[in-house]
Amino acid sequence: MTSLSHAIGTLPMPSKWSLGYHQCRFSYKSSERVLEVIRTFREKGIPCDVVWMDIDYMDGFRCFTFDNDHFPDPKSMVDDLHSIGCKSIWMLDPGIKKEKGYFVYESGSENDVWIKKEDGSLFIGEVWPGDCVFPDFTSERIRTWWARLVRDFISNGVDGIWNDMNEPAMTTTTKTMLESNIHRGDADIGGVQNHSYYHNVYGMLMARSTYEGMVMSSTEKRPFVLTRAGFIGSQRYAATWTGDNLSNWEHLHMSIPMVLQLGLSGQPLSGPDIGGFAGNATPRLFGRWMGFGALFPFSRGHSEAGTNDHEPWSFGEECEEVCRLALLRRYRLLPHIYTLFYISHKKGTPVAAPLFFADPQDSELRKIETSFLLGPLLVCASTLPDKGAHECAHKLPKGIWLPFDFGDSHPDLPVLYLRGGAILPIGLPIKHVGEASLEDSLSLLVALDENGKAEGVLFEDAGDGYGFTQGDYLLTYYVAEVYSSVVSVKVLKTEGSWKRPKRNLNISILLGGGAMISSHGVDGEEVHFVMPSDVEVSTLVATSKLDLVKRLEMIHPLPDIDEPSGHEGAEVSKKLVELKSGDWFLKVVPWIGGRILSMTHLPSGMLHSSYMIFITSVIFMCTTKV
């Protein structure tokens, strides 16, 4: 992965707020509704850092505009959001309404930026606003034109940009533009070519232009861009989500290998629409998806127009509590997750990695699609409707793996393990990134290896901006070791110009079975405490296991109620079309343009969900070949 990054680059260091939880919907229809949603997060104590605006904030779906009736003062709305610790991200699509008097269309026409057909006339495709024209992002001149529009748009208080429909997608039966369209690409990427040559990089080049516009707008903030379409190397400009999925258990399962495959492709910042975009989730489906989705590198809930509300409190009090616990886990683990992103930024390694990264020689680990690694932290989920993670048999890599929780174990949350030899930095259970302070107490979770040793690392900086590139950061390497039954934990070395904050240090040594012993000290000073005897450890482990069993027995799993969705097309959404061709067996949902639900390789019996990344939104007609 590091060698690959030498060829394709690494992601820029993300702002810390962008690693919090994101709440989205197609669409929150007014500024009042946006503020109501975020205030509800705050009132209910559910962590959230970002709210998203889909196309309905625009005036008639015209990019770079605002609906005067429903979003009359976006800057004021953003100021209100910032006052309660929430950022905002706004959608921009490539399809620009072909309309005289619309300033973006007029400017683009004057600057000759639109893609043309083979005969030299404008290509016109139908998207949300109706007839649209499309910028030719293969030209640096045209990317600069777009970037300047983005720069000006950011002045409304926009914190991030969402590039959607940038495959490019159309709402007509062709689904994308003509392959014969002409691009005036720069010489260094291929020059003048037809669309079939540039199709796969169009979305990435749009994301690049958007990213460069955000860079123009501020030298003090790190850009955040999310793109639906990408190409290898797109992590240099944008995060990626896995597209318009469905609210069902198969797509819940697929979301884990999809994120891992993107990580293996050099894109470490990705995630699915938690809960599913199309259709209605049940409480159990949503809670289970949030349980492990809260630990994906990019964590966002999103749902389609016409579906039921999909905020964490929309499925009853039990599901709300599961979502609260899941997201509090994420925020407690943010010091570790942020450190993983720093390492990824420097070395090109994935943030979420497949289980076989813990032991590449064990071929059986390569088949596992329900577990993933966050560095030395192992997340074991269940994607089975009738079994919680604690009821599943999880294959662990060789070595020591010790289970732990935050006193929050639940049948619909994943099981967590820490690899022996690792130290995990943990923060406070905050509700948004802005609540945290460098002076807050820091916790270290320690899992000793077979030699009684452990090590870990913590990266800290301002959380935004570029001071870290000038040395304004603190990178701390912690070590733990047992000498004659006495554990010592200390700072081995540091990097960066920052002085260590004055803060308390809480240290917990995992013993097995969820049991642990704890001690306290001051960060930067060596901490010593005595390990219990083998008999005492056995007693502590047995008691901890018994307590966990009792706690889980008292908790009722979330209901899996399957109610009619009320979505247009829902009456056919359950009627799968099953197709077999050679070695492949497909299940297709014939709605919303057609969606492939699953794709099974018959000789191996394996569900090839990794192929779903780029094909789930492709129209599928029963009479055509895949």
Q: Any idea which residues carry the catalytic annotation?
A: 164, 167, 244
Pairing state between β 96-97 and 130-133: antiparallel
**Beta-strand (E) ranges in 17-104?**
21-23, 50-53, 87-92, 96-97
Looking at the chain, how many residues does it have?
626
Q: Bridge partners of 479? A: 455, 490
Residue 582 carries which side chain, given as an amino acid letter? G
Starting at the edge strand that comes first in sequence, how are the strands of the sheet with 527-530 ordered? 515-522, 504-512, 442-447, 422-426, 453-460, 474-483, 486-495, 527-530
User: What DSSP assignment string belongs to 362-382?
Assistant: -GGGGG--SEEEETTEEEE--
Beta sheet of 371-374, edge-to-edge order: 371-374, 377-380, 415-419, 401-404
Of the candidates 464, 459, 549, 522, the one whose C-alpha atom is nearest the C-alpha of residue 496 is 459
Q: Do residues 176 and 170 touch, judged by C-beta distance below 8 A?
A: yes
Q: What is the DSSP secondary structure assignment for residue 470, as one 8-state letter?
A: G
Q: Rounded to 5 degrees, what are φ and ψ at 479?
A: -135, 150
Q: Is 102 helix (H, G, I), strand (E, B) or coil?
A: coil
CB atoms within 10 A of CB 200: 14
CA dihedral 278, 280, 281, 283 (to 10 degrees): 160
